[in-house]
Chain A
């Protein structure tokens, strides 16, 4: 299929190619530099070495931050699914007063400046003297990841015929059985997409974490931010390369599970 771009097609393809270069450049350049056998970042890279990878994989601060971020993202994702899935079902399946308002409320962290959400949470946690940074970060991350779960699960539910659930109920299943054995398997793509979004949003979060982290529990993005102003060798580029590989893996999973473009438009 040649497309329907008409005579301006070559121009549009050329412009798109330039934009693609612009989008990929800041991802490709650190990969190239991470193998550079020079004590500082320089372009073009010189020589070939894997020592920067060796160095960062033996950097205890990097490893502990990575572990902490994975743990935080897993807990936040689970919390988000537990809170978001019933909310989506309630919003899609039932009519009640204030439904539209509640829907806007649970989706609002998406449009609300996250930096400000973080400041407000810091103030709250300070005033109730909540000193566990893990707990504070978890609550903050659940708040900003729930909207993704609500949205992806809602769009899965909207495709589902409610009469199938009615049939299950008529045949004697209770509410929970109906959910677990009829609804859940069918909205699984929405749950998985929501979980991936929640995980990525939490794992990559900066603007909420920056207010709630302490000196012990430092999420990975904050750690990398600090390292960029402390190290000037290609070690940071090696970290960047590893993080990009993690993202590529996530993209492939997403493409397999729901299709990337469909997932993004949920």
Chain B
């Protein structure tokens, strides 16, 4: 008991109390002098939901997080399958390639995407398109640029739980399905895919939560043209100094993350008693 006491004190003072205070702030009102008045108002939330500009940001955040999650699932599946069942050397190499980007700074990785997606002819993607005789595209500073960058940043968090889930599937179950006459596609759709749902769910929960509250990718790849809640909250607190409004945006981020995690527990954990520990 004494062993855990310092950590508990530390977390209460630096985590529970500040987060609680911040949530309380979101119901405050800022007076014209910049002072904060405890007003118990929902005005800050109403503003986020009713002002067009802010509502757009909210929807962009949800859309980008959703597309990033779907993109990560599609890319993660073949990789996870090869990591678990493929040739041992290829699997090991692939594991390193998947995990390595996690250890490279997010700013650096996002910078790499800026160079690749640059709208002018100097961009790598446009250079390739022109070489292929195609028209260059304008993709930087759009939601798609954020989705691409975010899939890259969070893909390992989808691959690792998925690989863990696939690794737990008894190969004989699939073997049996095949023996009983199922085609490769049938076996995948009716046996492998359903059994890998716990891994996909953990991965999706992580990817969606992290994308929705990210800052670096939307700031560097979306700029002023595709804002997300993360960039909006930074602007409101650091430039506008509107603490109550900033706190309400932060609270919305907490609600999004809690809702996703709650949905995960309700939908998946109860049906699949074996838990896949999320990584990182």
Chain A interface residues (CB < 8 Å from chain B): 1-9, 11-13, 15-16, 19-20, 22-27, 29-30, 33, 40-44, 83-84, 86-87, 89-91, 94, 96, 102, 105-106, 108-117, 119-124, 127, 139-140, 142-143, 146, 150, 197, 200, 203-204, 206-207, 210-211, 220-221, 224-225, 228, 236-237, 239-240, 243-244, 247-248, 250-251, 254-255, 260-261, 264-265
Contact = CB atoms under 8 A, between A and B. Distances in A.
Given A96-B1, A120-B21, A221-B107, A20 B233 contact: no
B50 to A, nearest CB: 23
A8 B184 contact: yes
Nearest to A221: B107
B67 interface: no
Contacts, number: 264
Contacts of B7: 83-84, 86-87, 102, 106, 146, 150
Interface of B: 1-4, 6-8, 10-11, 14-19, 21-22, 25, 75, 78-79, 81-82, 85-88, 90-91, 94-116, 118, 122-124, 127, 152, 155, 160, 164, 171, 184, 206, 209-210, 212-216, 219-220, 230, 233-234, 237, 243, 246-247, 250, 253-254, 257, 261, 277-280
29 contacts: A2-B87, A3-B91, A16-B82, A20-B79, A26-B116, A27-B104, A29-B112, A29-B115, A29-B116, A30-B111, A30-B112, A41-B115, A87-B6, A87-B7, A102-B7, A111-B261, A113-B209, A115-B233, A116-B253, A119-B247, A120-B18, A120-B21, A121-B18, A123-B25, A200-B103, A207-B213, A247-B104, A251-B99, A264-B279
Contacts of B4: 86-87, 90-91, 102, 106
Contacts of A250: 103
Contacts of B103: 200, 204, 247, 250-251, 254
Given A1-B87, A86-B3, A113-B254, A24 B97 contact: yes
